[in-house]
Structure 1
Amino acid sequence: MATSIVIVETPESQQLLIQKANASLSLQGSIRVPGDKSISHRALMLGAIAQGETTVEGLLLGEDPRSTASCFRALGAEISELNTERVRVQGAGIGQLIEPANILDAGNSGTTIRLMLGLLAGQPGQFFSVTGDASLRSRPMSRVVKPLRQMGAQIWGRQDGNLAPLAIQGQHLRPIHYHSPIASAQVKSCILLAGLMTEGETTVTEPALSRDHSERMLRAFGAQLSIDPETHSVTITGPAQLHGQPVIVPGDISSAAFWLVAGSIVPDSDLVIENVGVNPTRTGILEALAMMEADIELQNQREVAGEPVADLRVRHRQLKACEIGGDLIPRLIDEIPILAVAAAFAQGTTVIRDAAELRVKESDRLAVMAHQLNRLGARVTELPDGLEITGGTPLTGAEVDSHDDHRVAMSLAIAGLNAAGTTTINRAEAAAISYPNFTATLQQICREG
């Protein structure tokens, strides 16, 4: 019997069945992953507030960027139909977003709602209402609402503005120096976007370095920024004028992470993932896998539109346990679910700490990954701020659930490649949030020995 990967549609949701054959399975070939989600969001947003036209090539066509495009169309930007070839954005200009007739819906996208709040708060005389799906309405917004209120924003919502739906009355904002208690690119970006509309310097200082896509793109669009890497501080000077730019979106390293782990744990595999963004604030996954002695080679390294890019070649190798924590966590926070899968196949006990942030993502990723991997036979202990995973126990197919979390769905699919029997993943359609053709790519690279 050949290994088969089957999608079963039901009226309620989608199941992904990975039926492991007795024959040996390997992963072979060259693939490209979807455009970087973080860069896709920012290209649409900055294009929407810039003067002139912005063109975006390689945009991620997932549900989250679609939510961003929908919101900013409602705010007055002209955004062409989304595609991977070229999206055209005609900006409204900074401070020129219009008051929409309807509630803005950010869908499942935390990046959309949190970054957008920074722009809406500085639109004097305009009123906005924003919401999202059930998952987004349960995620904390006080981390951006608090600093925005310090800048003079008026924001109301459930739990004193901690939960959406939120209402915003635009104001003239004042610059601040905000010492963020967490290293979060969403918090930093929200404040920097609000700082575009202030008189003076707005500074964000973080406890550790978070991804810097906003800083790179803001500079490219014409904003004045200064960065102090020693103190993890970024300062933006307002008021600013942004000018439309061509943006080329590289492949998302968070999406590539699934194949890096799959190629590492499935015997005889040899994969090349082409055109992946390797921004140093995002390459924590490469460092973690190097600590686990994975065989990963960066080839054809180059720079595209200000972002470092490379092709990643991964070949199977027995992984070793390691400890992951500290300043590395902000640079691989989205990759921890798939790292947990890697740890389940590594020799020894891997400990992941300082990752409590995962409890307020699309799901409680620490609790969900521990429970679902244990259903497959792994040995995972949930910690208050992480996971302890003892590898080496053979996994057996079982029925598991994504909890409507795209990264959980894809991580469980990769685990299923190395589990005996059939692994059934409920609510597998969640993968489309960031990787619409994930299943097709999985089918493409599977080879029977």
Structure 2
Amino acid sequence: MDITITPKKLSGPITPPPSKSQAHRLIITACLGAGVSRISNLNFSQDIRATLFCMEQLGARWEQTDGDTIQVTGIGARKSKSDSRLPRFDCGESGSTLRFLIPIALAVAGGGVFTGRGRLMERPQQPYFDLFDEKGIFYEQRDGVLTVRGELTPGDYALPGNVSSQFFTGLLCALPLLDGPSRIYPTTALESWDYIAMTMDALMGAGVVVTEPHGESGCFHVSPQAYSPIDRAVEADWSQAGFYYAANGLGNSVKILGMNAGSVQGDKIICPYYARLCGGGPVELDVSQCPDLVPPLALHAALRAGESTRLVGAARLRIKESDRLATVTSELRRLGADIEEGPDFLSIRGIAALTGGDTDSHNDHRIAMMLAMAATRTSGSVTIRDAGAVAKSYPDFWSDYARLGGVFTRTE
């Protein structure tokens, strides 16, 4: 689906959709628990449906009891089980689903066969492979299919701190299911602490305690524990709120509602970052802890007329749904922005207004939403190719955009 937007300011109240990052974690903890859990304020995006499907393959069951509420019957997993047939996991385009499920599948079912779409199976899994080589776990990746088989055993697990937090989360969820204590050692400073904090919050809510006694540079201690049922509501998503902050930075009048200022979501840093971009003078923002905010931050920076902005610590954006350093740069340039990419940064010189034109989401939901907000400050219409990519995380994005006054036409 392509969308052509007629430039028009947005105004009115909006509550961003539920946090995809938190929802993944709550679904997994509920499915690993014994008994029945309840999760409310759930957004059935493509990524969330992928996690629900994959947990079903491990034996969990769920039903939708209300529009945004599910009841989950967990598997009560504690330790590794053997089965001659490995379960198959279609992870869609969800990197979280894939990386979370790999060690969980080893702990619960002795492994699994993983597939996906888009760029998912090209995204690196080397941190796991290095551990599997050490632990004697079989893995094979061929023709877009990853097979892992073996026994996840208690012990020590070393991971570089500058890899995706998804590797830490997968192990933190899986290791309590084993029959002995384990430790996870970050070998370098952690770059995704806030996402790990979200994982530990979800685990604690399910009665699983992970001790991490030496601060962000210490090791995580994980003991054998059973998951308890949960009753949780998913918070509104600070990463999606970032696009509405960007819209306001471009002169729109969107009232952002329903956000938890005390959330463990690291992307709540959008508030001070937004304030800095609204001020004058050169600005440098470290995005190593909030990579999903780069598209809206880059857009806001592009319209800081006469001011320069650098977004640094962004190397991991090259292995997202698209190479986001490249696609943010190419698509904002199509609209007239003055932006350059480096190996791990974006350098932006603000201008007064953007032009219209044809753009491409590159099948990346965050690029599509960035371009939609950009169209509120262009001199001509903006066409976004493959604008349906927003369904990956925010299926109601275009209806919310229209409700705020956005004007567009669709071409299927």
Q: Note whether the superposition's TM-score is higher than 0.5.
A: yes
1:196: Cα distance to partner?
1.5
- Aligned equivalents of 1:139, 1:363: Cα separation in 2: 10
Larger strand proportion of the pair: 1
Q: Which runs of 5+ in 1 are unaligned?
A: 1-13, 295-318
- What is the letter of the counterpart of residue 168 of structure 2? K
- Aligned equivalents of 2:9, 2:214: Cα separation in 1: 42
SS of alignment partner, residue 292 of structure 1 = helix
- Aligned equivalents of 2:97, 2:215: Cα separation in 1: 29
2:4 paired with 1:17: yes
1:236: Cα distance to partner?
3.7
1:192: Cα distance to partner?
1.1
Q: Report 1:29-428 matches (<5 A).
A: 29-81=12-64, 84-94=67-77, 95=79, 103-123=88-108, 126-158=110-142, 164-182=144-162, 184-198=164-178, 199-205=180-186, 207-208=189-190, 209-211=193-195, 212-228=197-213, 230-233=215-218, 235-267=220-252, 269-276=253-260, 278-279=263-264, 281-293=266-278, 321-325=282-286, 329-347=287-305, 348-428=307-387
Asked if the contact 1:36–1:249 (Cα under 8 Å) also holds between the matched residues in 2, the reply is yes
SS of alignment partner, residue 162 of structure 2 = coil
SS of alignment partner, residue 3 of structure 2 = strand
Larger helix proportion of the pair: 2
1:152: Cα distance to partner?
4.5
* Counterpart residue number, 2:396: 437
- Aligned equivalents of 1:324, 1:359: Cα separation in 2: 18
Judging changes above 3 Å, is the alpha-carbon distance between structure 1 residues 291 and 362 closer, same or farther for their aligned structure 2 residues?
Answer: same
- Aligned equivalents of 1:320, 1:189: Cα separation in 2: 38
Question: Percent identity at matched positions?
Answer: 27
- What is the letter of the counterpart of residue 57 of structure 1? S
1:134: Cα distance to partner?
2.9
Count of aligned pairs: 398
Asked if the contact 1:30–1:274 (Cα under 8 Å) also holds between the matched residues in 2, the reply is no
- Aligned equivalents of 2:309, 2:152: Cα separation in 1: 49
- Aligned equivalents of 2:65, 2:384: Cα separation in 1: 29
Q: Give deviations 1:233-260, integer Å, cap 9, x for gaps.
A: 4524232211111011011111111111
SS of alignment partner, residue 16 of structure 1 = strand
Asked if the contact 2:102–2:111 (Cα under 8 Å) also holds between the matched residues in 1, the reply is no
Asked if the contact 2:98–2:114 (Cα under 8 Å) also holds between the matched residues in 1, the reply is yes
Q: Which runs of 5+ in 2 are unaligned?
A: 408-412
Asked if the contact 1:80–1:89 (Cα under 8 Å) also holds between the matched residues in 2, the reply is yes
Q: Give deviations 1:262-306, integer Å, cap 9, x for gaps.
A: 022125x25233235632633232232122137xxxxxxxxxxxx
Normalising by structure 2, what TM-score?
0.90
- What is the letter of the counterpart of residue 322 of structure 1? V
Normalising by structure 1, what TM-score?
0.83
Query: Which has the larger displacement, 393-402 or 258-267?
Result: 258-267
SS of alignment partner, residue 288 of structure 2 = helix
* Counterpart residue number, 2:410: none
1:357: Cα distance to partner?
0.3
2:10 paired with 1:27: yes
- Aligned equivalents of 2:213, 2:137: Cα separation in 1: 27
- Aligned equivalents of 1:442, 1:360: Cα separation in 2: 28
Asked if the contact 2:267–2:293 (Cα under 8 Å) also holds between the matched residues in 1, the reply is no
Q: Give deviations 1:46-99, integer Å, cap 9, x for gaps.
A: 111111111100112110000011111122101113865320111112237786
Judging changes above 3 Å, is the alpha-carbon distance between structure 1 residues 152 and 235 closer, same or farther for their aligned structure 2 residues?
Answer: farther
Asked if the contact 1:147–1:191 (Cα under 8 Å) also holds between the matched residues in 2, the reply is no
- Aligned equivalents of 2:209, 2:133: Cα separation in 1: 23
1:402: Cα distance to partner?
0.4
- Aligned equivalents of 1:41, 1:230: Cα separation in 2: 25
- Aligned equivalents of 2:219, 2:198: Cα separation in 1: 12
Asked if the contact 2:86–2:113 (Cα under 8 Å) also holds between the matched residues in 1, the reply is no
Query: Which has the larger displacement, 271-280 or 74-83?
Result: 271-280
Asked if the contact 1:406–1:432 (Cα under 8 Å) also holds between the matched residues in 2, the reply is yes
- What is the letter of the counterpart of residue 77 of structure 1? A
- Aligned equivalents of 2:221, 2:51: Cα separation in 1: 23
SS of alignment partner, residue 395 of structure 1 = coil
SS of alignment partner, residue 108 of structure 1 = coil
| Cα RMSD (Å) | 2.4
- Aligned equivalents of 1:83, 1:434: Cα separation in 2: 20
- What is the letter of the counterpart of residue 116 of structure 2? G
- Aligned equivalents of 1:386, 1:331: Cα separation in 2: 14
Judging changes above 3 Å, is the alpha-carbon distance between structure 1 residues 399 and 272 closer, same or farther for their aligned structure 2 residues?
Answer: same
- Aligned equivalents of 2:395, 2:215: Cα separation in 1: 39
- Aligned equivalents of 1:245, 1:339: Cα separation in 2: 35
1:442: Cα distance to partner?
1.1
- Aligned equivalents of 1:83, 1:170: Cα separation in 2: 39
1:202: Cα distance to partner?
1.8
